[in-house]
A = this chain, B = another copy of it.
Amino acid sequence: MIKKILNNPENSVDEMIDGVVQSHSKLVKRIPETGIIQRSLEKTGKVAIISGGGSGHEPAHAGFVGKGMLSAAVCGAVFTSPTPDQILEAIKAADEGAGVFLVIKNYSGDIMNFEMAQELAEMEDIKVDSIIVDDDIAVEDSLYTQGKRGVAGTIFVHKILGYAAEQGQSIEEIKKLAEALVPNIKTVGVALTGVTTPGSNEPSFTLADDEIEYGVGIHGEPGYRREKLQSSQGLSEELLTKLLKEFDAKAQDRFAIIVNGLGGTPLMEQYVFANDVHKSMKEHDLVIDFSKVGNLMTSLEMQGLSLTLLRLNEAFYLEALEAPVDTISW
């Protein structure tokens, strides 16, 4: 059984949110009685970018709230979409008059609730638009998803749209940007262990002592293959080959990458893996212009990692990724 540092498991998300806003009170605040973490900034009339979803993926999404990224994050229960009324509340609180743009990971519950909130907000004359992120190429359709799942690549969407909003782009421009951007982001992961949600006694799945599973989702959804633990180099080859197939990449194509720890994997292993990815990319005659390594979109204490590639076919993407922000976790 996994030991956890919690009080009543039912209150974990609530207490976590209080922990976040008390620890970073200059950056963020909580809208009382809600799961919404909002920027502490004065409003400047720009488009507000909102994301959110089930909790358990920290620092996503609250860690990316702040100047230059998200205006607010809506935190649902663990691995559970926030309700439409919570999302509506976030939209109303974040709107600065220029409209609100929603970044939604592709899970059926999230899509249903975010879209309902969008309709409700539009009825209150708030301009709202949205993008669905479906970067996980591991499998088509899954436990909670039609199509492909939304995972760590979502962080690149936050960063690039956040920069566009900060630059004063309109909601129409941001929509166009998002639609061009998302198809250029692909992710695939590997799990070494399962994940146990607070209050439950059993992990969502188990792997043998020498076994891994490729393509597991960030809620423990099934992947595409189990096999014996590989070397970091072997894992990097597997994930990279799968990703590059999707891109139809040409020599000297330029990329940004995320090596994303799933929660329980130490940074040392993430950097050993990052080293193998950099080596392999060079061997493929591909260029990495930007790297992010760390626990960004986690699955509680799951051991494993994911690799995200973003093809930098617009100079704006790299400019956006490199711009400084003021958040807890970027």
Q: Which residues of A contact B (CB under 8 A)?
A: 1, 3-7, 12-13, 15-20, 22-24, 55-56, 58-59, 63, 78, 192-193, 198, 209-210, 212, 229, 231-233, 235, 259, 263-276, 278, 288, 291-295, 298, 300-301, 303-305, 329
Contacts and interface: CB of A to CB of B under 8 A. Distances in A.
A58 B16 contact: no
Task: Give the interface SS of chain A, mostly helix, strand, loop or mixed.
Answer: mixed
9 tightest Cβ-Cβ pairs between the two chains A and B: A19-B271, A19-B275, A23-B291, A58-B267, A19-B274, A5-B269, A16-B271, A22-B278, A3-B192
A210 B59 contact: no
B232 A301 contact: no
Contact of A265 (B7, B63, B294, B301): B301
19 contacts: A1-B210, A3-B209, A3-B210, A3-B229, A4-B269, A5-B270, A5-B305, A6-B269, A15-B271, A19-B270, A19-B274, A19-B293, A20-B274, A22-B278, A22-B288, A24-B291, A56-B268, A58-B267, A263-B266
A318 to B, nearest CB: 12
B293 A295 contact: no
Contact of A275 (B16, B55, B259, B276): B16
Nearest to A22: B278
Q: How many copies does the complex hold?
A: 2
Contacts of A4: 269
Given A3-B192, A23-B271, 11 more contacts: A5-B265, A7-B232, A7-B272, A15-B232, A15-B275, A17-B271, A19-B271, A22-B288, A263-B266, A295-B295, A301-B303
B22 A273 contact: no
Contacts of A56: 266, 268
A3 B212 contact: yes
Contact of A271 (B7, B20, B198, B305): B20
A278 B18 CA distance: 9
A274 B192 CA distance: 28
Contacts of A263: 266
B231 A58 contact: no
Nearest to A193: B3
